[in-house]
């Protein structure tokens, strides 16, 4: 007998939005007014799974009747639930929001893409970014024909600092729809003050959505910007299972925002974005015991961060190492090429940032296991000694 599984259908249909829900009842801080006007009542592709039917035999989605030989239990024979409720609830609990304020997708990379497409007109509009920063904001804007306005982080002796006044001014004067902040920043390592994010969102209310990418927040001392959502509707927070949760290949990230916005973003998303094996893996990882192991991993990474930071700080030939609230350190070298090559000779690959503006002498070193970090210190110390002898 065929088990009754969840309803699935690939035939397109149009779902009508309740009349007046977006444009008529608009209030000042309703972030719906920031969306592309032509998408506000866009129904997207409907998989009709929302129509819960009491069927036992599902012959509505052209799936195979028998499982693949590679799929013992038949776990992947059917199209997956677009937003599995259990996953949404587990993620919402993890991030401290309501399930309807959260959309899960293929990494936060997909969330960035969805936000650009939903808020910026193709071939128009603008986003603001604060370089040096994560490359995908500009990549998605470019693919969409949207302009990228750069407000450089200030490089101070204490680290990279965001000039919030300049960000606000740029967003206003350029009419930007999205402001991408990264906190802790990649590659800067800087955690942005929540009070400044709050003030920026307040100032840009009704004009722009402030997106706070918190891919590394688990490693930081501060609180998440999700705590601002109760009073700021024009903030969206990006979280991911790829970094501290050690599930990069499962590709599960979340955008957390106003529930109305989340509903629109879901209608812009691909029909079945979350592969069932990835969802099952994530649910297992988010169960109580492994969650403690995530905490333990983060604690170890944080203490390794301090150790590596202190070791790099006194290393001859090292110009500067930036304080970091993430799981990597950004460092400037007298001879970055020699450091990069020396590490590579020892089999250690670090990220070369020399092609990035203002980072012509910089490498980014991800924190590894204590043994791996010790090897990095050992190689760099040996190189410095050799250089010292040669000089």
Q: Which residue, among 269, 264, 256, 248, has the nearest Cα to 107 in the 3D structure? A: 248
Which of 30, 130, 242, 324 binds ligand PLP (CB under 6 A)? It is: 242
* Total chain residues near ligand PLP (CB under 6 A): 12
Nearer to ligand PLP, 134 or 353 (CB): 134
Residue 107 or 159 having the CB closest to ligand PLP: 107
Q: How far is CA 338 from CA 60, 308, 311, 328, 344, in A?
A: 61, 19, 18, 20, 10
Q: Does 186 bind ligand PLP (CB under 6 A)?
A: yes
Token pair recorded at residue 200: 């920026």
- Regarding 327 and contact with ligand PLP (CB under 6 A), the answer is no
Taking CB under 6 A as the binding criterion, the range among 10-18, 52-60, 106-114, 148-156 that sits at the site for ligand PLP is 106-114
Interaction of residue 108 with ligand PLP, rule CB under 6 A = yes
218 binds ligand PLP (CB under 6 A): no
Rg (CA), the chain: 23
Give the SS3 label for residue 137: helix
Judged by CB, which is closer to ligand PLP: 186, or 269? 186
CB of 129 to ligand PLP, least distance (A): 11
For residue 386, state whether it binds ligand PLP (rule: CB under 6 A): no
* Separation of alpha carbons 305 and 318, rounded Å: 16
CA distances 210 to 26, 314, 342, 378, Å, are 19, 38, 41, 42
Burial code (b: 16+ CB inside 10 Å, e: under 16) for 196-210 equals: bbbebbbbbbebbbb
Q: 147 — phi, psi (to 5°)?
A: -75, 145
Rounded distance between C-alpha atoms, residue 211 and residue 222, angstroms: 17
Q: Spell out where 227-317 has E strands.
A: 235-240, 252-256
Q: Is 269 near ligand PLP (CB under 6 A)?
A: no
Output the six-digit token pair for 363: 């490498």
Segment lying near ligand PLP (by CB under 6 A), choices 49-57, 62-70, 102-110, 294-302:
102-110
Taking CB under 6 A as the rule, does residue 182 contact ligand PLP?
A: yes
Nearest one of 354, 312, 356 to 138, comparing CA atoms: 356
Which of 84, 107, 189, 273: binder of ligand PLP (CB under 6 A)?
A: 107
Nearest residue (CB) to ligand PLP, 26 versus 246: 246
Question: Applying CB under 6 A, which of residues 109, 125, 258, 304 lies at the interface with ligand PLP?
Answer: 109
Asked if 87 interacts with ligand PLP (CB under 6 A), we say no
Task: CB nearer to ligand PLP: give 213 or 304.
Answer: 213
Q: Is 134 in the site for ligand PLP (CB under 6 A)?
A: yes
Question: Which residues are near ligand PLP by CB under 6 A?
Answer: 107-109, 134, 182, 186, 213, 215, 240, 242, 248, 253
């Amino acid at each position: 007998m065929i088990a009754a599984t969840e309803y699935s259908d690939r035939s397109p249909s149009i779902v009508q939005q309740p009349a007046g829900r977006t444009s008529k009842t608009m209030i000042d801080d309703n972030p719906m007014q920031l969306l592309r006007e032509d998408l506000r009542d866009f129904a997207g592709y409907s998989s009709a799974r929302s129509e819960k039917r009491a069927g036992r035999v599902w012959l509505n989605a052209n799936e195979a009747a028998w499982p693949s030989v590679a799929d013992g239990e038949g776990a992947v024979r059917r199209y997956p639930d677009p937003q599995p409720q259990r996953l949404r609830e587990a993620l919402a609990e993890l991030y401290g929001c309501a399930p309807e304020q959260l959309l899960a997708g293929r990494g936060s990379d997909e969330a960035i893409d969805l936000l650009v497409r939903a808020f910026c007109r193709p071939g128009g509009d603008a986003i603001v970014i604060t370089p040096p920063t994560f490359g995908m904001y500009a990549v998605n804007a470019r693919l969409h024909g949207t302009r990228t306005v750069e407000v450089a982080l200030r490089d101070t002796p204490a680290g990279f600092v965001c000039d919030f006044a300049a960000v606000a001014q740029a967003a206003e004067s350029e009419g930007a729809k999205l402001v991408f902040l990264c906190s802790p920043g990649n590659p800067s390592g800087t955690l942005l003050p929540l009070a400044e994010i709050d003030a920026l969102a307040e100032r840009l209310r009704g004009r722009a959505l402030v997106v706070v990418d918190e891919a590394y927040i688990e490693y930081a001392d501060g609180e998440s910007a999700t705590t601002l959502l109760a009073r700021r509707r024009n903030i969206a927070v990006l979280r991911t299972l790829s970094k501290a949760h050690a599930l990069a290949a499962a590709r599960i990230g979340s955008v957390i925002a106003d529930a109305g916005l989340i509903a629109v973003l879901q209608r812009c998303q691909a029909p079945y974005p979350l592969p069932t094996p990835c969802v099952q893996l994530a649910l297992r990882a988010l169960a109580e015991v492994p969650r403690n192991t995530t905490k333990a991993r983060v604690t170890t990474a944080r203490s390794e961060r301090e150790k590596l930071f202190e070791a790099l700080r006194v290393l001859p030939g090292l110009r500067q190492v930036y304080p970091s609230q993430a799981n990597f350190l950004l460092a400037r070298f007298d001879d970055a090429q020699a450091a990069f090559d020396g590490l590579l000779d020892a089999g250690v690959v670090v990220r070369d940032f020399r092609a990035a503006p203002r980072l012509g002498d910089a490498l980014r070193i991800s924190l590894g296991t204590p043994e791996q970090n010790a090897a990095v210190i050992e190689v760099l110390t040996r190189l410095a000694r050799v250089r010292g002898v040669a000089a």
